[in-house]
Amino acid sequence: MMAGITGVGEIMVAMGKRKNGLGEGGTAMVQPRPAPRPAKKRQPRGLLILHEDQDILVVAKPAGLLTIGTDREKSRTAHYLLNDYVRKGDPKSRHRVYVVHRLDKDTSGILLFAKSEQAKKFLQEHWPQTEKHYLAIVHGRLTPKEATITSYLAENAAQKVYSTPDPAKGKLSQTAYKVLQESKGLSLVDIHLLTGRKHQIRVHFAEKGHPVAGDKKYSNTAPVGKRLALHARSLSFIHPHSGKEMRFELEMPEEFARLLGK
């Protein structure tokens, strides 16, 4: 379970000029359009809604929940649960949510969904301008304490991601980080994700010799804790209708505090 949440009920919306959202241009102050919320019994199980309006849904995803379905798992996903939520249990309803981005199954944190194809298109087209920060606990002490890791990431047939020196074989990937705390042979790191490649954070820190705690795929280090210590802490983006900046932020998960001995 996550610690207190700063974003619930306190959504910071920049009141500057519109930035070419779905509406027309100009400087009109148009707020996100509120959406009626279903009765409490229709809230999505296991997902905390941070914000909902007619265009978007922002939720806090727990570790262990898929973002979208796989061949093996179709229903125990954030996408499925939110589709059921907006349809109010009616499988014939035309209402649905659209995936804007993904978080790994074992990563917790902020997840954004669109409620129309148009909103999804806008958010994905503006994704490079979206600011994404993560918290991670990694093994060892990083040197330097603040830097940007850059490499070209590729994926092999076993679906394992790795860095390659050949730009033609990989995608440019950049991960900025800053050490916040060191304790018990572990480091708490704030990560600014400059690009969003598959497993990017996990691969970059593992190849640096400081794998994320609890990473069974990219680490040979003895397990620490009960989960992957990676948390999507904050997300800032332009609302597709109002054109205003919205920012959501979660506090550090309780499990992280226990690992650090707080």
Catalytic residue (choose from 53, 55, 84, 104): 104
Task: Report the distance separating Cα 224 and Cα 230, nearest Å.
Answer: 13
Task: Report the distance separating Cα 154 and Cα 87, nearest Å.
Answer: 38
Separate counts of helices (H) and strands (E) for the chain: 4, 12
For residues 155 and 161, the answer to whether their CB atoms sit within 8 Å is yes
Task: Report the distance separating Cα 176 and Cα 192, nearest Å.
Answer: 5
Quick check: is 71 catalytic?
no
Q: Which residues have a Cβ under 8 Å from the Cβ of 51 and sit 6 or more positions away?
A: 7, 11, 32, 57, 58, 246, 248
CA dihedral sign of residues 44, 250, 197, 62: negative
For residues 43 and 52, the answer to whether their CB atoms sit within 8 Å is no
Q: Show which residues are catalytic.
A: 104
